[in-house]
A and B are shown apart, each in its own frame.
Chain A
Amino acid sequence: MARAFHWLIPHPFLTLILAVVWTLLQNEISAGMVVFGIILGIIIPWATSVWWPDTPKAFKLRKMILYSFMVMWDILVANVQVAWIVLTVPNNKLKPAWIVIPLELRQPEAITVLAGTITLTPGTVSADLSDEGHSLLVHVLHTDDPDAVRDEIKTRYEAYLKEIFS
């Protein structure tokens, strides 16, 4: 039974997301659309499963939800900070910097989430990954202390993601 379930729904989480997104796209809840969403949610992961060879073995959903709330709060706070920088710091006083973050995360999914988080929190943009994937290149808009920014990203986001994906 468990094997049949796994064969039919290799990515239960993706199935759920696809069904919810389909229902949201209709902008109204009707039984027919929910059923169609579930059908899509089964067909799409099945058809694309060839491109998902190494799905993360462990994934802590509850921590991920907490993490996304933390990130949303950080985005709000940092938006105000960047708006303040844009409006008050003159161009010649602006101190942009490259920082290099050595990565402890190994899973591509985890690194993607970290890079997305860094880009979404204003003031930092993740620009590139080293060729073997051991460090992340980040551009900071305005900072006096690049090392502090690096340490904050490592302790606040990377440590959290390590717990989620382990």
Chain B
Amino acid sequence: MTAEIVGTYATSLFLLIGSGFALVGAIGLLKFNDSMSRMHAPTKVGTAGIGMLLLASIVHSSLLGETSIHELLIMAFLFVTAPISANFIAKVNIHQKACETPPDPPRDETWSTLNVPDSDPDPDPANQ
């Protein structure tokens, strides 16, 4: 077997695994009931899925003789930004009471998301 054949098989394998993970992420998004559980599937399974697709891209490009490592950068940016978007979705859920109310923290007064000064007007007219 030449390197070309091995590389082609490796590329296809990575593509298949990656798209499999992406599919599971999409299924999870549709399947679960409440928004907090829904958030888990796409934000996390997605990282492995996209990682595998980018790995396939690296292998394929080096196979064609135009080695490209751009993909590492995409992965790094994704790993840095994914927790932040997940954190914001969670905060929105807590605010909108779309999930069970979280237990109180043991040492401090409240969670920082719920720590709204009294002087702040509620932007939602339904609560006024």
Contacts and interface: CB of A to CB of B under 8 A. Distances in A.
Interface of A: 21, 24-25, 27, 75-76, 78-79, 82-83, 86-87, 91, 94, 96, 98, 100, 102, 115-116, 119-123, 125-135, 137, 139, 141
Interface of chain A, main secondary structure: mixed
A134 B68 contact: no
23 contacts: A21-B73, A27-B69, A75-B47, A79-B47, A82-B45, A86-B24, A86-B31, A87-B27, A91-B32, A94-B32, A96-B34, A119-B43, A119-B86, A122-B44, A122-B48, A125-B36, A125-B39, A127-B93, A127-B113, A132-B107, A132-B109, A135-B107, A139-B99
A137 B31 contact: no
A132 to B, nearest CB: 4
B123 interface: no
Interface of chain B, main secondary structure: helix
B32 to A, nearest CB: 6
B91 A127 contact: yes
Given A127-B94, A127-B102, A83 B24 contact: yes
A27 B62 CA distance: 13
**6 A-B pairs with least C-beta separation:** A122-B44, A127-B90, A119-B83, A130-B105, A79-B48, A130-B108
Given A86-B28, A115-B87, A128-B111, A98 B102 contact: yes
A141 B79 contact: no
Nearest to B85: A119
Contacts of A94: 32-33, 37
B100 interface: yes
